[in-house]
Structure formats: structure tokens, C-alpha cells
Amino acid sequence: MPDALPNASPNGNPTTDTGTGRPEPSPEILAVESRNIRTLSAHYISLRLGWIFKTETVIMPAFMDAISGAGWLRGCLPIVNRICSSLPPLFYAPQLKGARRKKGILSAATFAMAIPFFVLAATWWRFGQPENGLAAGLPGWLPALFLACYGVVFVATGLQRLAWATIQGKLIRDNRRGRLLAVSGLLGSIISVAAVLLLIPGWLERPDHGFAWIFLMTAAGFVVAGSLAWLITEPPDAATTIPQRRPGQLLLEAWDLFVSNRSFRRIACVAMLFITIQLAFPHFQTLGREMLGDEQRQSGNYLMHWVVAQNIGFGVCTFLFGWLADFFGNRVVIRTQILLLASVPLIALWLGSLADNSGSGFYWITFSLLGLTPLTFRTINNYVLELAPPSEHPRYIATLNLAMTAPFFASPAVGWMVDRFGFEPIFVTVSIVVACGGLLTFGMAEPRLDEHLEESSPVDPTSTVE
């Protein structure tokens, strides 16, 4: 076999063609790969520590219920989440591509995630205490402030995820990203669960349910994660100038990628169907709470149990599926994860249908399986990194995130329908849609086996889209 020939990568770093069509990172990057795996793991563990205190399926809907019990408002959470975490990354992707080092952007975005939680903590300390009128009623503007802060959080989260995926694509080889996911996910879950068990019980027993302390802990985890991002060893990319393009041009480029690249279009459709599980996120804890007795409901400890179950499920599944992805590829792992998630709404309904609410003692199973959701999202990102040319990682990831926005426009209507018709029709529909996403994976390519994947033409940054 002839020696591998050196090439120039799109980002300016030398690479080696391994004969599979996939460039090998430069020796400079390979020399620090193990160190970067440890550093990225530490960043993700800290991020996970903050995230567990704002769990989307438990804490955020519970806070919304505390300030306003309307189902349509609860249903606004997923659409605010998705729009804010999808459009800004798409518009920022060219700037990220042109940045010589990406770790500063990762750090800044992570710090920005903390700011709204400092605001919410201060607001709850001022208005959420019983002596300040909690029993008599909260300010009418509080739901609007919460949704605004929630939106800012996910603008920053979208940029953080885009930078995280791009840095992984630059610094970590395809068959080691599962290892990074496995180690950081498992350790992050162990540390996060320990923190929840130590802190949450006392906070939930407070008259104000401890939301101020919960938000402060979330902010602290993000601050630590943002600081750790600076420890990443990242060789600079070649200097490039990326002309500014209008949002409309970027949207047209995203559409062109979707329609012209069959392999990307398939995984984008899979992701759109999978992500509909999040439409039911705010309502899982509502269904579970209805199964509890008055004494259990008032104590608030059920929230801790569900958060712990979800994060244990995430940690165990991350460790298992991360290693499987490195050995067998991401395609089969994505398929398994999505089909498991399709069963979650049906399990929740079955537990809720048991006589005398006996299913409440096992409702934690629902949340342990929901821990697969962020894991599946990251596995899909890793799959897309393997599909994309290295120089186009930001564009592919941003376009994928945008594609997953479409189902969320139905989210407020889903919340209204839960109030009007109950949980059964919504949960069954969500389960069917997610299962269709799992079935669609049977037509996906496996980048590590298919040497001649179809690629869309990289966008010339000097061109314009009419």
C-alpha cells in the first residue's frame, strides 16, 4: 500500500489522507488529542452539573407551573427552546468558521448561559418569598420575564453547542468522540446526581421551593464550564476572511444543503421526527404529579427523584452507547436510541392508567429513559460531523439544528390540547412520530463504511445567493 500523502485541510492545518476520503488530523492535533479529551470532558461535566438543576422535563416546567399553570404557556417552553437555539447558530456559523480559534467562542457562549439564571435567582429572591406576597399572588409579568430569560439561555446554548461540535470535529477523531461522550456523560451524571441528592431536598422544603438556590447552582456550573473551555489546546486555523451575508442568504444556503445532499437530508428528517419527543417534555412531570397524593405533591421531593432518575439513565446510556458508537458507528446507535425513546410516552400512559395510582412509585422509569434525549441529540451531531467536510462542520450542524425547529411550532397547540383532551392522544401521536424516525434510520448511510458519500459543494464565502 503506498504511503499516505499529506494534504492541506480546509482550515489550514496539514492532514493525511487515509484512503477512505476522510482527512486525518495533523500531528500537532493528534499529539494533544488525549489531553483535549480530558479537558472537553471536564468542560462537559461542569456543564452537566449546572444543567441538572434546570432539567427541561422537570425543573423548568415545575417553575412555570409555580408562576402560571396554563398548559399553553407550558407548551411555549419547547418552541422558545428550539427557535432560540437554532436560528442564531445558523446566522453565526460563518463567523465561527472564520475564527482562528473556536475555544474563546465556546467559553463566551457558556458564560452567557449563566447570566439569565442570575437574573431569575435575584427576581425570585425579591418576589418569590412568602413574606413578599407568594401566597397572595406573584407579579403578572413574571411568566414573561421567565420566557425572555429562557430564550436568552437557549440562544447562548445554541451557540455553545455549535462551538462544542465544531471543536470536536477539529480536535477529536471520528472513532474517539464516543469515548469522549461516554466518559464525560458517566462522570458528569455521577457528580450531578450526588449534588442533587445533597442539595435539592433541603431547597425543595423551603416555602419558596428553593428555586433561587437552584438557579444559582445552574449559573455556577455554567461559569465553571466556561472557565474550563480556555484550557483546551487548540492550534489556530489559517487566517480567513468571511464576508458578512444576510440572514436570507444563510437560510437559502441551509435549504440548498438540505435538498442537494441526500445523506444529510435523511439524517435531518430522522432528527426532525426524533425531536418531537420534546413536545411532550413539559407534560411528563404534569402527568406524574397528578398521580401523587397531596402530601407527596406538597413536599416536592418527587422532583428530586425524577431528576436523579433522568440523569442516572443518561449516564448509564451514555457510557454504553458512547463505546458502541466508536466500535460500530453512530447509525445503529441512533436507531436504537430513537426506538427506545418512542416507547417512553406509552410507558408514561401505562403507568398513569394503573389502578389507585400505583404506577406513581415506578414513574421514575419514564424519566430514566428520557435521559436518552440529549444523548441522541449528541450522537446525531457526531454522525453529521462524519458526513461533513471539516471546513463545513459549522454549516452542517447549524442547518441540522434549524431543521429540527419545524416540529416545535406545534408546541403551544400541544399544550392546549393536553388541557382540552388529556394526555392520551398527544402521547400516542408523539410515540408514533418518534418511531417513524427510528424506522427511517434504515435508509441512512454509515460514513465509516461508505467511502464515496455524496457531498454538497462547499459554499464559496465570496459568493452571494440570489
Task: For residues 319 and 41, give the distance between their C-alpha atoms in angstroms, rounded to a whole number.
Answer: 13
Task: For residues 18 and 285, give the distance between their C-alpha atoms in angstroms, rounded to a whole number.
Answer: 49
Q: Convert the pLDDT of each residue in 262-275 to its tens digit.
A: 999 999 999 999 99
**3-state SS assignment for residue 328:** helix
Under-50 pLDDT residues of the chain:
1-21, 133-136, 457, 460-466
Task: For residues 68 and 64, give the distance between their C-alpha atoms in angstroms, rounded to a whole number.
Answer: 6
Cell numbers linked to 308:
436523579
Q: How far is CA 446 from CA 265, 321, 443, 452, in A?
A: 14, 16, 10, 11
Say if 14 falls within a structural domain.
Answer: no
Q: How far is CA 36 from CA 10, 29, 43, 231, in A?
A: 21, 9, 10, 9
Task: For residues 195 and 38, give the distance between their C-alpha atoms in angstroms, rounded to a whole number.
Answer: 21
pLDDT at 8: 39
Question: Range of 106's domain?
Answer: 23-443
Please give the distance of CA 274 from its chain centroid, rounded to a whole number: 13
Indicate the pTM of the whole model: 0.77
Say if 12 falls within a structural domain.
Answer: no
pLDDT at 298: 57
Say if 455 falls within a structural domain.
Answer: no
Q: For residue 437, which of 231, 241, 272 has the smallest C-alpha distance?
A: 272
Exposed e or buried b per residue across 47-73, where buried means at least 16 C-beta atoms within 10 angstroms of its C-beta = bbbbbbbbbbbbbbbbbbbbbbeebbb
Sign of CA dihedral 291, 295, 296, 300: positive
Contact in structure between 300 and 204 (CB atoms under 8 Å) = yes
pLDDT at 249: 86
Q: On the CB side of 461, how many CA atoms lie within 13 Å of its CA?
A: 15
pLDDT at 293: 61
Say if 433 falls within a structural domain.
Answer: yes
- Number of CB atoms found within 10 A of residue 249's CB: 16
Contact in structure between 401 and 268 (CB atoms under 8 Å) = no
Say if 454 falls within a structural domain.
Answer: no
Task: For residues 413 and 410, give the distance between their C-alpha atoms in angstroms, rounded to a whole number.
Answer: 5
User: Taking the CA atoms of the chain, what radius of gyration do you get in angstroms?
Assistant: 22
Question: What DSSP character marks residue 393?
Answer: H
The residue whose grid cell reads 471546513 is: 391
pLDDT at 355: 66
Exposed e or buried b per residue across 392-424, where buried means at least 16 C-beta atoms within 10 angstroms of its C-beta = bbbbbbbbbbbbbbebbeebbebbebbeeeebe
Say if 460 falls within a structural domain.
Answer: no
pLDDT at 56: 65
Contact in structure between 33 and 173 (CB atoms under 8 Å) = yes
Task: For residues 387 and 445, give the distance between their C-alpha atoms in angstroms, rounded to a whole number.
Answer: 9
Q: How many helices (H) and strands (E) does the chain have?
A: 20, 3
Contact in structure between 30 and 165 (CB atoms under 8 Å) = no
Can you give the CATH number for the domain in which 317 is found? Answer: 1.20.1250.20
CA geometry: angle 67, 56, 88, nearest 5 deg = 100
Cell numbers linked to 246:
444576510
Contacts of 79 (CB under 8 A, 6+ apart): 408, 409, 411, 412
Say if 16 falls within a structural domain.
Answer: no
Q: How far is CA 283 from CA 71, 415, 434, in A?
A: 9, 8, 17
Helices (H), 261-300: 262-274, 281-290, 294-299
Q: For residue 40, which of 395, 365, 378 has the smallest C-alpha distance?
A: 378
Q: Diameter of the chain by CA atoms? A: 79
pLDDT at 135: 40
Overall domain count for the chain: 1
Q: For residue 431, which of 348, 310, 352, 313 has the smallest C-alpha distance?
A: 348
pLDDT at 160: 95
Say if 351 falls within a structural domain.
Answer: yes
Task: For residues 276 and 414, give the distance between their C-alpha atoms in angstroms, rounded to a whole number.
Answer: 11
Task: For residues 50 and 217, give the distance between their C-alpha atoms in angstroms, rounded to a whole number.
Answer: 6
Q: On the CB side of 129, how many CA atoms lie within 13 Å of its CA?
A: 8
